[in-house]
Amino acid sequence: MIISVASGKGGTGKTTIASSFIKIAHDHIAVDCDVEAANLYILLDPLVRKTENFIGGAKATLTGDCINCEKCEELCRFEAISDSAVSIKFDKLKCESCGVCAYVCPTGAIELIPEEQGKFFISDTSFCPFIHAKLNPGAENSGLLVTKIRNISEDIAHKKNKKVIIIDGAPGIGCPVIASLNGVDFALIVTEPTITAINDFKKVYEVACFFNVKSLVCINKFDINTDNTSIIEKFCFSKGIEVLDRIPYDEDVPRYLAEKKFIVDNLESPASKEIRNLWNKIEKVLYCE
């Protein structure tokens, strides 16, 4: 079974909740699909067993003789090519890999060459195997990298006979989120009672619906604005979405995070108690459906 913890808006407590599940679950694998700003590894403190380069999209590169005709520069719609005294120069951050420059170059001096766009890591932690990745700054294809690490996690789960894969999904609704929701059994959408979080929650819910993924909802910090919490609950009721839990605001949560500690290790914390309660409910969903 694969559960993806999603949020839409960043900062709702998604990673706090995902890391708590990873700490208390059994027989599982953890995956951090937030490849643009990976941070789960800071808490899990993994022992990296394998590092591999992620080769993403091809970028235009000058590999032959340039006669400085400027055709490529004229036709590049993305202004990724500029002229210099000797030959042309490429701005790899602007290059969209369309291939026009290579097509029009009279000397065949341009090639599109695949480049390393990040790395992914296969690790052990005290709790479970862990797969995460880091995209290079400005690099693209984050969705492809998420798909890559998800495929690896499924291979490892199969080989090690692990029953559950817990994904800490990327925030937002872009490619990495789509890649971290596609094909999972459940999405746990963590939201909070703020207007931006509610709007983004609805967008993530739509993405999950598009992929026929069942959504469950957890309202974090529900008591900071109970009117907005009611709005979320009414929306969920109207769509038939189960609100699995409401977690109270708890000052211990940021304090524990700052100290690189798991909030679920604090047995007196109200948030910790609710997160444990939430995981018990999720286990029932995972093993009973």
Binding site for ligand SF4 (CB under 6 A): 60, 62, 66-72, 76, 78, 80-81, 87-88, 90, 95-101, 104-107, 109-110
- Alpha carbon distance 263, 266 (integer Å): 6
Q: How far is the CB of 102 from ligand SF4 (least distance, A)?
A: 7
Provide the minimum distance between the beta carbon of 36 and ligand SF4 in the complex, in angstroms, as a whole number.
22
DSSP 8: S
Work out how close the CB of 79 gets to ligand SF4 at its nearest, in angstroms, rounded to a whole number.
Answer: 8
| Cβ 280 vs Cβ 253: under 8 Å | no
108 versus 254: smaller Cβ distance to ligand SF4: 108
Nearer to ligand SF4, 101 or 244 (CB): 101
| Closer of 36 and 140 to ligand SF4 (Cβ) | 140
Cβ closer to ligand SF4: 60 or 122? 60
Q: How far is the CB of 115 from ligand SF4 (least distance, A)?
A: 12
Both tokens of 56, joined, read 């993403």
Burial of 273 by CB count in 10 Å (0-12 exposed, 13-18 middle, 19+ buried)?
middle
Q: Dihedrals φ, ψ of 277, to 5°?
A: -60, -45
Nearest to 132 by CA among 265, 255, 39: 39
Tokens linked to 239: 């769509």
Residue 260's region, left for phi above 0, alpha for psi from -120 to 50, else beta, is left
| Number of CB atoms found within 10 A of residue 2's CB | 22
Nearest distance from residue 104's CB to ligand SF4, in Å? Answer: 6
* Distance of closest approach, residue 138 Cβ to ligand SF4, in angstroms: 14
Identify any residues that bridge with 168 across adjacent strands, giving them in sequence order: 5, 32
